[in-house]
Amino acid sequence: MNGDWLHRGRDGRLSVYLPSGDAVLCRAERGPDGPWGAPRRMGGEQRLHPGFSVGRGDDGYAHLVAWRPTVKGESGLVHSTHYRPHLAAMDWQPIGHPAKKGDVTGTPAVAVDAEGRAHVFVRNPGRGVSMVAQKEKGGWDPWRDLKGRLVEDGLAAVTGASGRVEVYAAVPDGILYWRQEEPGGAPVLQEALEAPVRPGTLAALATSPGSTTLYYTDAAGDLCAWRPGGKSAALLPSAGPGPVAAIRCELDGHDCTLLAQRSASGKVAFAAYPTEDERAGAWWAESGPQLPADATVALTTDESGRVTAATLSPATGQLLLTRRKDEPGLALQAWREV
């Protein structure tokens, strides 16, 4: 899974998107703060390849993107919009292949701009980055080659506070960064950072009106933060493998960034620090039960603005959830299975 699989819908209900064989399923709250409904298949009966991406627009709509088999040895990308957690999603619609035809080239990433248009990014057969975007009045623009060389799988797409879409990619010697220069335009390669990056660890977050922050793990095992135009900063040792979940929230009246990751011990580790002030430092604190090795972590806020964390094990389907208590600090309720 790539993107924010824990989702707060337009009506305030929480939902999660999870893989299940050749399908994407959704579980959603029946009402604020539960109970939760049974899993439902998204987008009809179309058979999908493993791996999908989900992005959320400011309108609360979820945009899902996945690969599907087409003819023998070939695949194409498909897109579905889920407007409300308790409603059925739109049927999967084909959006093509970055090279017109071929097999799966990488895990897609999706971001949604201020006008509610999905922008889909994927590594192409030449190991550059290609994208396709929705038109303002329906349909899709042609595929665009954004260039790049030796791009690793695991792109991080994000929408800045300005509503413009940005994307980050790991390469053998660092990170490439693209940004839209105008709404609806193709993102342009802006900057390259030389850094020893572990592929598959990128996660991006809008952190101020003019900036997004990329989190990644370097070769030494440190979790680093980088904002284009500045220098990368090592924040703290990574708690475990894979990307962190990140959210901007208010803690005790302060604008903070909260990070979460499945730790090497198997529990969820949390760390918070003043947004964009990496010099303040951060420390991990573990919470909850020991999780399966494939468990991932996600963060959001519920309709009351409370920080909410979830863990999901695709192999077992186990979904655990906790919310912040109404007291100072980052005290959490007991984790519960839903």
Q: What tens digit of pLDDT does each residue of 181-216 get?
A: 988 889 999 999 999 999 999 999 999 999 999 999
Whether this model's pTM surpasses 0.85: yes
- Model pLDDT, residue 34: 75
Task: Report residues of the chain scoring pLDDT below 70.
Answer: none
Instruction: Report the candidate in 123, 198, 197, 115 with the shortest Cα–Cα distance to residue 157.
Output: 123
- Model pLDDT, residue 64: 97
User: Which CATH number is correct for 2-243, 2.60.40.10, 2.40.110.20, 2.120.10.10, 3.50.50.60?
Assistant: 2.120.10.10
Collapse the DSSP code of 279 into the 3-class scheme (helix H, G, I; strand E, B; otherwise coil) and give the result. Answer: helix
Say how far apart CA 245 and CA 255 lie, in whole Å: 17
Collapse the DSSP code of 280 into the 3-class scheme (helix H, G, I; strand E, B; otherwise coil) and give the result. Answer: helix
pLDDT in tens, 130-151: 999 999 888 999 999 999 999 9
For strand 336-337 and strand 319-323, is the pairing parallel, antiparallel, or unpaired?
antiparallel
Bridge partners (DSSP) of residue 155 are: none
- Model pLDDT, residue 98: 97
